[in-house]
A and B are shown apart, each in its own frame.
Chain A
């Protein structure tokens, strides 16, 4: 039931791009993305809704493939501030609960 994220960890140089994937075994109504810096609270990035509606960060892009029950977060021209752990949360609609994945650790180096 918990969504699977890949990769588990990725190391980038500043300016490089990264894609983080989130996959669920259940039908999804929406996918949430959050970023957490070490020892801090997760911060909202984006929500993607079935049907194409999105809400979130202007500088973050993401996709949601309803048929494949997958979402991808695209981080382009990465900056040092992008470092942290990225979590997807999936919402199936039936239970009103957001179920979070295990996270992807992103480290951006100078």
Chain B
């Protein structure tokens, strides 16, 4: 079955440590996205990528970094510079970036807790 996998489901880290969240898709989609979800604030875009080796900052990119070395993979690193990293992180993909009829498919999410 095609889909998006994120691992791990729950992640705990100490303040000051960098942490990398995994996102893999086997849908053969060109575009991939990372969102952060906090209670009452909906989904906010962190980074997005429309093609391998290319990515753009979203609305809240500070303190985060990404890479897109393979079409299937779009890992997100939460760095120690992110002031409030505890949140639910969702990865998504779509066939392409520019198509207005292209729905996004979401992974199950990673809940990160930093203490």
Which residue numbers of A lie inside 8 Å of B, CB to CB?
A: 2, 29-30, 32, 34, 39-44, 47, 49, 53, 55-56, 87, 89, 91, 93, 96-103
Contact, CB under 8 Å: A41 / B42: no
Contact, CB under 8 Å: A41 / B90: yes
Residues of A within 8 A of B103 (CB): 32, 44, 47, 55-56
Given that A93-B100, A96-B97 are known contacts, is A42 also in contact with B106, CB under 8 Å in the complex?
Answer: yes
Knowing that A97-B59, A100-B44 touch, tell me 17 more A-B residue pairs with CB under 8 angstroms. Answer: A32-B104, A34-B106, A40-B109, A41-B106, A42-B106, A43-B106, A44-B103, A47-B100, A53-B101, A87-B43, A89-B43, A96-B50, A96-B98, A97-B48, A99-B59, A100-B42, A103-B40
Alpha-carbon distance between A91 and B104 when the two chains are bound, in angstroms = 13
Contact, CB under 8 Å: B42 / A87: yes
Size class of the contact patch on chain B = 20 to 34
Secondary structure at the B interface, as helix, strand, loop or mixed, is: loop
Which residue numbers of B lie inside 8 Å of A, CB to CB?
A: 4, 35, 40-45, 48, 50, 58-59, 90, 97-98, 100-101, 103-109
How far does the Cβ of A60 sit from chain B's closest Cβ, in whole Å?
Answer: 13
Contact, CB under 8 Å: B43 / A40: no
A-B pairs with the 5 shortest C-beta distances?
A: A41-B106, A44-B103, A100-B43, A102-B42, A30-B100
How far does the Cβ of A54 sit from chain B's closest Cβ, in whole Å?
Answer: 9
Name which residue of chain B comes closest to A91, CB basis. Answer: B100
